[in-house]
Amino acid sequence: MEKAAKPPLRVLYLEDDPRDAELVHETLAADGVESEIIRVETEADFIAALKQGGFDLVLADYTLPSFDGLSALEIVQKDWPEVPLIFVSGTLGEELAIEALKRGATDYVFKTRLSRIVPSVQRALRESEERSDLIRAQEALQKSEAYLAEAQRISHIGSFGWDVASGRIYWSQETYRIFELDPAREPTLEFVFDRIHPEDRAMVQQLLDRVVNDRTDFDFEHRLLMPNGSVKYVRVAGRPSQGNSGGFEFMGPVSDITERKLGEQALQKAQSELAHVTRVTTLGELTASIAHEINQPLAAIIMNASACARLLDAVPANVDRARETARRMIRDAARLAGADHPLLAA
């Protein structure tokens, strides 16, 4: 498979002499650098060409009848900083050349030493590519940090770093949000303990003293008392490591678990209320059962007692039937006295 031909180098050349532009084109071609040179002489044409875009490189003479190279450099630096600019001049002295480099020019080449144009162009393109790679890497890093910050915000999980020796603390944006601290302020241990709920401070202090002394992992929960009087629940975990400066530090996540804790408390309250309702319901069922077991023989006793009274009041009294009725009363009373029920047995 044949290698695809490399597109020609697109060059915007600020130059009032067409012969100088042709000479640069020929010098590049002699070294195997194919180029397409667009020559302009005025500021208006220079800006218009840049706005059209697509240029890999700008070459500029230092002095022109109606424009100058340093002004062109300022324009490129302001609006097209990714495009390298090389001065190609016959009137540029060493001091002016150094000043041009300080202002952001990539290089300078004297027209009397045009053989230097090829390595100068190659270096300019290489540095431009390196700058582009750096910009892309920075943009990717910023995007990654933005994604991480959004993920932490959604999950309510921040992060921290604590340099034990210096006492410096580093927080992510979400950790600042959890502790309700202005990100412009630097967090301190004093501030952290001021935020910790007074009832939890001793516990947290003892734990930190232990893990600093033993240099071990930690994972614990505690409360924060916010300025408005509300309470937050947080979970903090850390792992010891050696920092970039060689010191000892802890790094780990900080989680806002307030919603989870409030949910657990609500669940416990609901379970307690359910247990109470269950006990009351069970007691009601037991009461109904007891009433049924008592009422049945009691009603029989009352009915038999009434019958016995009528038999004895009769003239003449029916003693035999009254005696039989009294025996049934005794039987029902014995049944009531012997009712087998947990509450009666108690």
Angle at 334 between CA 329 and CA 336, to 5 degrees: 95
Q: What is the pLDDT, as a whole number, of residue 187?
A: 93
Dist. CA 104–CA 86, nearest whole Å = 10
Residues of the chain with pLDDT under 50: 1, 341-346
pLDDT (0 to 100) of residue 192: 94
pLDDT of res. 343 = 44
pTM over 0.85: no
Cβ–Cβ < 8 Å for 87, 114: no
Residue carrying structure tokens 């630097």: 186
- Cis bond upstream, residue 316 (ω within 30): yes
Relative to beta strand 35-40, strand 9-14 is parallel
Give the pLDDT confidence score for residue 151 in this predicted structure. Answer: 61
